[in-house]
Amino acid sequence: MILFKDVGFEYEPGQPVLQNINLELEPGQVVGLMGENGAGKTTLVKHINGLLKPTTGAVYVNNIDTRDTSTAQLAKTVGFVFQNADHQLFADTLQAEVAFGLRNLGFSKEEVDNRVAQYLELFGLTRYGGQSPFLLSGGERKRLALASVLCVEPKVLILDEPTQAQDALQKAKLLNFIDSFRDPEHILLLVTHDVEFAIRAVDRLIILSNGQLIADGSPNQILSTPRLLDRARLLPPQLTQFAHQMAKQFPQFPTNVTTLDETIEAVNQLLRGRR
């Protein structure tokens, strides 16, 4: 479990970036975190792996106070993939990059070799294994960062803008991974601006604005509420935009539509009502 208790944070005295954050994340959840640029999303998630310590309040990971725990200790439980993969890649080859965390955590050579091969294959990077990470494209470096974190199989995984620079095929693979990660022992937290991806990927959605939590609930409920999206400077999903346009012509058409199945059902109901 992850618990934020009355958390505030300031990079500079008197300039709060997070204010009075109270939040609980339970195993078994895939949670999305959204908000405008500068809302405090990345600042918030950096408290979970101890990169930042709260100015006020406390953060607990499995009942461990992060203020009293090193980032290295938390790394055994919390995996973090940064928005900019270049900020965490450093090894000479892809194979060495993926192997680094495994070796630091004491895995055997055989297990290291097996997991390096497994995770390079998972992210379509096997053929580049002996090359420098910095010869890869931006999207490939993002996938390498994912592989280097996921290979240690953390119980808590934070992905900061994971769909950035990824094409439709890689997004589909990422969705499949998220489905495989969704189980009673794991917490997965996605920081994203991609509402179309979020509506398909997450079970719960949290919205930050100006360092404060302004919404916490189902993706359907939040992403179909214009006032919340306006406040967070987010566009609604395309199907929700379609629903609002339909409601202008047909007032009975539901506007809380976010998925294709919901849209088809709403259209079918409209057609049945007009027969």
Secondary structure (DSSP) of 89-137: ---SSHHHHHHHHHHHTT--HHHHHHHHHHHHHHTT-GGGTTS-GGGS-
Q: Return the pLDDT at 152.
A: 87
pTM of the model: 0.84
Q: Return the pLDDT at 95.
A: 97
Mean pLDDT of 129-156: 90
Mean of per-residue pLDDT scores for the chain: 91
Query: Per-residue confidence at 157, pLDDT binned at 50, 70, 90?
Result: very high
Tokens of 215: 């919404």
Q: What would the pLDDT profile of 222-264 be if each residue is shown by its tens digit? A: 988 888 888 888 888 899 999 989 999 999 999 888 888 889 9
Task: Specify the residue for token string 């009502």.
Answer: 273
